[in-house]
Structure 1
């Protein structure tokens, strides 16, 4: 399970490369680096978006989604920001529906089932509505 609070993107990429048994030469050729440079890149906690994009393409995995999950869990939009007009900014607007992915739900339910957090702590810390949490528990039958 991914720890969305402490993202070490280099080790996540390395884990996927190893899991898919992709040759280092292929990775280096695609990323345009040497073996030594690749080792340094994969040891870094943070990478530039250009590198993350290249690895996402090569490994056919959206590494940016990991950061989106972090935002959903640890930096949810405030009520104030939803009332501010974005007329001056011409960035794409994304749907707010279906914020919680299966990974997020599994992460939250694992916190509760392992005893790391109580239901009350999850509701307060992650701002997840009580009814939503109880629906997840009911739907996924994790024996709570």
Structure 2
């Protein structure tokens, strides 16, 4: 899966084919016609409400793909920049790392593109988490 250039329509279509969801069920669930569904398969991006409905129908969190992209490709925080105080105590970082993200990071370490210390800093991964991933490989 290419996390750098996401084509969400292709990913949705692949998941539909994998699960063998009939078009009649999709049309009924999304409240649209077959033409609109085929058009969605060709879209690089999609409205979040529609993506949420696809996620429910296919029982797959498509938003995690975008989270993986942010983890791998967002610019690092600037040193010395004051961070905004946290408004809420809710933390949603747990289990943010998809298999593709983990595989990408472990591959970078194994091919010596980066060290474990660099991975921890670059991707903001807790040290024990990273070492658990490496141990499971």
TM range (shorter): 0.7 to 0.9
Tell me which residue corresponds to 2:13: 14
- What SS does the corresponding residue of 1:85 show, helix, strand or coil? coil
Q: TM-score, normalised by structure 2?
A: 0.74
Higher mean C-alpha deviation, range 6-15 or range 99-108:
99-108
Name stretches of at least 5 consecutive residues in structure 1 with no aligned partner: none
Deviation at 1:110, TM superposition (A): 3.9
Tell me which residue corresponds to 1:102: 99
Name stretches of at least 5 consecutive residues in structure 2 with no aligned partner: none
Provide the rounded CA distance (Å) in 2 between the counterparts of 1:48 and 1:129. 29
Alignment counterpart, residue 113 of structure 2, candidates 98, 104, 118: 118
- What SS does the corresponding residue of 1:6 show, helix, strand or coil? coil
User: Aligned runs of 1:1-144 on 2, under 5 Å?
Assistant: 2-75=1-74, 78=77, 80=81, 83-85=83-85, 93-96=90-93, 100-110=97-107, 118-119=113-114, 123=118, 127-128=122-123, 132=127, 135=131, 138-141=134-137
Deviation at 1:77, TM superposition (A): 6.5
Q: TM-score, normalised by structure 1?
A: 0.71
- What SS does the corresponding residue of 2:71 show, helix, strand or coil? helix
Provide the rounded CA distance (Å) in 1 between the counterparts of 2:23 and 2:12. 12
CA contact (8 A) 2:6 2:44 kept: yes
How many residues were matched structurally?
Answer: 132
Provide the rounded CA distance (Å) in 1 between the counterparts of 2:53 and 2:130. 39
RMSD over equivalenced CA pairs, Å: 3.4
Deviation at 1:128, TM superposition (A): 3.8
Over residues 39-83 of structure 1, what are the superposed CA-to-partner deviations in whole Å (9 max), with x where a residue is unaligned? 1111000000011001001011111111111111112662636x2
